[in-house]
Structure 1
Amino acid sequence: MTDPHPPLRSYGRLKTRAIKPRQAALMESLLPALRPPADAFDPRALKPDAAPGWAEVWLEIGFGGGEHMARQAGRRPDVLILGAEPFQNGVASALRHVDEAALANVRIHDGDARELMVRLPDASLDRVFILFPDPWPKARHNKRRIVQPETVAELARLLKPGGQLRFASDWADYVDWTLERLGASRAFRWTAERADDWRTPPADHLTTRYEEKRLGDCAPVFLDFVRA
């Protein structure tokens, strides 16, 4: 009998090289404390005892090496940032950033973001980042992209009215792909009014390590959407 809910598959390499000893130690000691609950949960409850509630809850889908997530968390200690990344070397790197900055407002899901998203309640997120995701540029691999109609629908469920979604890529086809799929949803409004709105990094953007490599086929494009 076919399983109606087969396990999610994270495409691509989950590990490329040996993890450095210090980071490997953090995978054992720090990661278990930062993992969100395995069942459905309210992210606003993930706070130290007696601490005030989080002002906002953000999600970064595919945080890469974690430098953007960690720096945003350092800027906004009143915001809880959930991060999801299946690539183990990236998780190890992120743990180092969290440890060095002594960040108390980061939680890490070391797996596919969609596994985490289904455990979150409706309208529980204030902001979502999808920054320079794997472009899967070959047409036969486009189905592996994280931006799909079902993902858009899930983001619409999770974001509060007025919540923000930022997508960035340096692959022109993926930018067009994303505009088409977000544009097909009545739940989202693209905020751009002029070309500079997508050509110029937003004022609160923090450059990622991948972005600096310029591996795509166009200059970085930044698409900001608002949940209607």
Structure 2
Amino acid sequence: MDSTAGQGERRNFYGRVHGKTLRASQKDYLETDLEPLRLKGVTPAENPGRDAVSLDFTGGRPLWLEVGFGGGEHLVHMAAANPQVFLIGAEPFVNGIAMLLGKIRKAGVQNLALHPGDVRDLFDVLPEASVSKVFLNYPDPWPKARHHRRRFVTPGYLALLARVMAPGAEFRVATDIPDYVRQTLEEVPQAGFDLIAEAGLGGAWADWYSTRYEQKALREGREPHYLTFRRQG
């Protein structure tokens, strides 16, 4: 798959983009902090030819990616704990982006960039085998059976993900939805990944930072599941 993948393709997007009214401070974060952190050359409007973006922004560091960072607590924690890597966070939900920007300003981390939109646009333009770790934390479960095709762990997303991940790269999935676990275990290996670890409550990764979505799941009696895959190569 070359850097023109997705060119001319019309994609449906079903996730939320806007939520509750933003606070004044959050509007300030969006107006002041987003543009310097936004990864350039990702959207079809900026890059209609879908040319591969340069990775100069990483400074030669390994590249990690979080797909759908929610409120951003995990992404900021990983950036602060791993200054030797560079992270990209992809998230279309404006309220989540605003929350993340506030956390970045407070933490002062500088080794990350954002794509405030559909992660598939990012997958189109990242160089092949350029990402060494990917996080998918509490993705939208799309619980109705007729909506399961909208889940991230489906062939359309996973083929693009596999293209940008280096051989041996790690793909982590955290979810509290048993049927999402089922579909992940069925679909991800078919996309070129090996399952290397599967754990329930108490079996999270050593560097795991619990998110607001996980805390909500625990309060409501749902058990987290932690799945780790390795990109074949």
Indicate whether the TM-score tops 0.5.
yes
8 A Cα contact 2:152 2:158, kept in partner: no
User: How far apart in 2 are the matches of 1:188 and 1:72?
Assistant: 23
8 A Cα contact 1:172 1:218, kept in partner: no
8 A Cα contact 2:200 2:223, kept in partner: no
User: How far apart in 1 are the matches of 2:162 and 2:200?
Assistant: 21
8 A Cα contact 1:170 1:217, kept in partner: no
- Matching residue of 1:159: 165
Residue among 12, 20, 38 paired with 2:23: 20
User: How far apart in 2 are the matches of 1:138 and 1:167?
Assistant: 20
Deviations 1:5-24 (A, max 9, x none): 11x33323321111111121
User: How far apart in 1 are the matches of 2:80 and 2:194?
Assistant: 29
8 A Cα contact 1:61 1:113, kept in partner: yes
- Matching residue of 1:224: 228
8 A Cα contact 2:139 2:152, kept in partner: yes
Please, what is the CA RMSD of the aligned residues?
1.8
After TM superposition, the runs of 4+ consecutive aligned structure 1 residues lying more than 6 A away are none
User: How far apart in 1 are the matches of 2:222 and 2:187?
Assistant: 20
Give the deviation of 1:218 after TM superposition.
Answer: 3.8
- Matching residue of 2:44: none
User: How far apart in 2 are the matches of 1:161 and 1:74?
Assistant: 26
Residue among 189, 194, 208 paired with 1:189: 194
TM-score, with structure 1 as normaliser: 0.89
Amino acid corresponding to residue 95 of structure 2 in structure 1: N
- Matching of residue 208 in structure 1 with residue 200 in structure 2: no
The secondary structure found in structure 2 opposite 1:46 is helix
Residue among 77, 101, 104 paired with 2:110: 104
- Matching residue of 1:177: 183
Stretches of structure 1 that go unaligned for 5 or more consecutive residues are: 48-52
- Matching residue of 2:36: 33
Distance 1:161 1:12, change over 3 A: closer
Identity %: 40
TM-score, with structure 2 as normaliser: 0.87
